[in-house]
Amino acid sequence: MNRIIDYIIERRKGHYCHVLELANVYELQSTIDAIYNEFIEQYYKEEIIDFFDTISLYYIINDDDVQTFLNDEAGTGFSYIEAVDYLANDEDKQQEEEELYNFDIEEYINNL
């Protein structure tokens, strides 16, 4: 297992889920930057890359986007879940999701 994961699991007394829910690539980059800066003095760059290579990424619709949609469509009767479903079929959202899943984490970290 990765030393970083071991460290996190130990600090959290076993309560850890190796998952990120993100709305776009910018959020992923920001998360990588924060974790990289936190761990680079204690761990090798390769270990940080491995940490991210093994993490599960899930695309989520940004809550602000859902609220904006609901405000714009006031009176239509859309529920929150229906708004999320509607936005999930939006071309821009689908492109954000594709960019997130195709993002080259290793290349990004190697350029830090």
How does DSSP assign 32-79, residue by residue? HHHHHHHHTTTS-HHHHHHHHHTSEEEE---HHHHHHHHHHTTTS---
- In this model, does residue 1 exceed pLDDT 80? no
State if pTM tops 0.95: no
Rounded to whole angstroms, the maximal C-alpha distance in the chain is 54
pLDDT band at 84 (very low <50, low <70, confident <90, very high): very high
- HSE at residue 51, side-chain half, CA atoms within 13 A, is 22
* The pLDDT value given to residue 75: 85
Determine how many CB atoms are found less than 10 A away from the CB of residue 109.
Answer: 20
- Average pLDDT on 78-89 reads 94
DSSP reduced 3-state for 88: helix
Mean pLDDT of the chain: 95
* The pLDDT value given to residue 74: 85
Structural domains in the chain (count):
1
- Average pLDDT on 79-97 reads 95
Contact 25, 103 (CB under 8 A): yes
- Average pLDDT on 14-37 reads 96
Q: What is the domain extent for residue 33?
A: 3-110
